[in-house]
């Protein structure tokens, strides 16, 4: 019997969302730092590279007040492997140093495959969770157990 309370789950998810935002900020700093580094170049290509990097950083930064993280899916890295949590959101977020995936872009092939899972064919998904966040703050969650083959 699972004795984890709703508040404990929200607190755990908040830690993951905090990590996602930290990695997001590091990635954005990395992107804008690259733009600054290429700005020092004195040739035409350096200017074009800097402008391109600045445009990419601006597009990456534009969450428009929406939350970065929207959900979580527990699924293995490899078919038949042990499930692990994958956070899904509005931007793909890597860990800056390790390049491990912290947030999967919701439109990526992996995330769209998870979204299409039906109860009759859950595959390796053990949990699909919607997170309701007010930007950085996890306010609530909803587990879609019946839709993904997890426990009721």
From the list 55, 56, 60, 36, the residue with the least C-alpha distance to 46 is: 36
pLDDT digits (tens, 9 = 90+) for 99-147: 999 999 999 999 999 999 886 777 889 999 999 999 999 999 999 865 5
Q: What is the pLDDT of residue 152?
A: 42
Alpha helices per DSSP H over the chain? 6-39, 44-61, 109-115, 145-148
pLDDT average, residue stretch 5-27:
96
Q: Is the pLDDT of residue 150 over 50?
A: no
Q: What is the pLDDT of residue 151?
A: 45
Is pLDDT larger for residue 3 or for residue 142? 142
pLDDT digits (tens, 9 = 90+) for 63-111: 888 999 999 999 998 888 999 999 999 999 999 999 999 999 999 999 9
Give the span between the Cα atoms of 129 and 46, in whole angstroms. 44
Is pLDDT larger for residue 30 or for residue 38? 30
Q: Is the pLDDT of residue 48 over 50?
A: yes
Q: What tokens does 120 get?
A: 């009759």
Q: What is the pLDDT of residue 43?
A: 55
Is pLDDT larger for residue 139 or for residue 50? 139
pTM score, whole prediction: 0.81
pLDDT digits (tens, 9 = 90+) for 33-47: 755 555 555 455 666
Residue 137, CB-side half-sphere exposure with 13 Å CA sphere? 2
């Amino acid at each position: 019997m699972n004795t984890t309370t709703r508040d404990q789950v929200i607190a755990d998810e908040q830690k993951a969302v905090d990590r996602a935002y930290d990695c997001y900020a590091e990635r954005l700093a990395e992107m804008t730092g690259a733009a600054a580094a290429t700005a020092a170049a004195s040739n035409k290509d350096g200017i074009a590279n800097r402008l391109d990097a600045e445009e990419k950083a601006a597009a990456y930064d534009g969450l428009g007040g929406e939350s970065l993280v929207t959900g979580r899916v527990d699924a293995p890295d490899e078919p038949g492997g042990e499930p692990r949590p994958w956070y899904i959101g509005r931007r793909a977020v890597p860990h800056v140093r390790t390049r491990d995936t912290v947030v999967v872009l919701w439109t990526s092939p992996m995330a769209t495959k998870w979204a299409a899972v039906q109860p009759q064919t859950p595959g390796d998904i053990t949990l699909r969770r919607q997170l309701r966040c007010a930007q950085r703050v996890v306010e609530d969650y909803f587990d879609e157990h019946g839709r993904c083959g997890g426990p009721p």
